[in-house]
Chains A and B, each alone.
Chain A
Amino acid sequence: QKEVEQNSGPLSVPEGAIASLNCTYSDRGSQSFFWYRQYSGKSPELIMFIYSNGDKEDGRFTAQLNKASQYVSLLIRDSQPSDSATYLCAPQSSGNTGKLIFGQGTTLQVKP
C-alpha cells in the first residue's frame, strides 16, 4: 500500500463545474495536510492546508479532512481552464522531521 494514494487521472471537467480531488493516506499520526498545484514543467505551489477535521474554505477552494477515515479532499468550485494542472496531496509525516509525503498527483483538465 502506498503511503499516499491519489487517482492519477486525468480528471476532466467542463469550465464552471466543481472539480473533486481525493486522497487517502496511511500514516494515522499525520496531523497537517497540504495541497499543492503543479503546472507542467514548474515547481509545486502551496494552495491549501488543513489541520482539523471538517471543511476549510479559501476562495474557490475547499479542503476537507476526515482523520478517522484517513481521507482528505480538495474541491475547486467554478473551475477555470487556468486550474488545469496536477494537484499533489501531501500529509506531514508523524514524528518531528516535518517532512511531507507526496502522492503522485491527480491531473485536472478543465475544458472551455
Chain B
Amino acid sequence: DGGITQSPKYLFRKEGQNVTLSCEQNLNHDAMYWYRQDPGQGLRLIYYSQIVNDFQKGDIAEGYSVSREKKESFPLTVTSAQKNPTAFYLCASKPNRDYGYTFGSGTRLTVV
C-alpha cells in the first residue's frame, strides 16, 4: 500500500541536543512539507520541497533544517537553536499543485 511514513512516533530530546525526524513516502509525490502543530493551534509550515535537491523555508524555519536527497525522503532536523521544540510534527506530500496533502501519522516531540 502506498503511503507516507513518519518515525519515530514519539521522541524525547534533551536540552542542547539535535534530533532528526524521518519522513518517507512511496506515493511518487513530487512535493513534501513539514508542519508543526501546538495544542489548540493550527498547522504552521516549517519547510517544503517541490523537487529533489531543492527546498524552501516556511513561516517558522528558524532552528530547523531539512534535506531532500531522494524523492521519497524529506527528513527534518530539530536543532538546539530551536528553543521551544515540544510539539506534534506532521509531514505531508502531494503530487502536484492542485491536489490536497496526504499526511503521515506524525511525530510527537517532547523536551526532557
Interface residues of A (CB under 8 A from B): 4, 8, 31-32, 34, 36, 42-46, 49, 51, 88, 90, 92, 96-100, 102-105
Contact = CB atoms under 8 A, between A and B. Distances in A.
B100 A98 contact: no
A49 B78 CA distance: 32
B61 to A, nearest CB: 13
A104 B104 contact: no
| Contact size range, B | 20 to 34
B48 interface: yes
Nearest to B45: A99
22 contacts: A8-B40, A32-B98, A32-B100, A34-B100, A34-B101, A42-B106, A43-B90, A43-B103, A43-B106, A44-B103, A88-B43, A92-B98, A96-B97, A97-B50, A98-B94, A98-B96, A99-B45, A99-B58, A102-B35, A102-B42, A103-B42, A104-B42
Contacts of B90: 43-44
A68 B107 CA distance: 38
B106 A97 contact: no
Given A99-B48, A104-B41, A104-B42, A42 B105 contact: yes
Given A43-B90, A88-B42, A105-B42, A100 B100 contact: yes
A51 B98 CA distance: 9
B30 to A, nearest CB: 9
A92 B33 CA distance: 13
Contacts of B56: 97
A46 B50 contact: no
Nearest to B58: A99
Contact of A98 (B31, B35, B42, B102): B31
B105 A43 contact: yes
Contacts of B41: 104
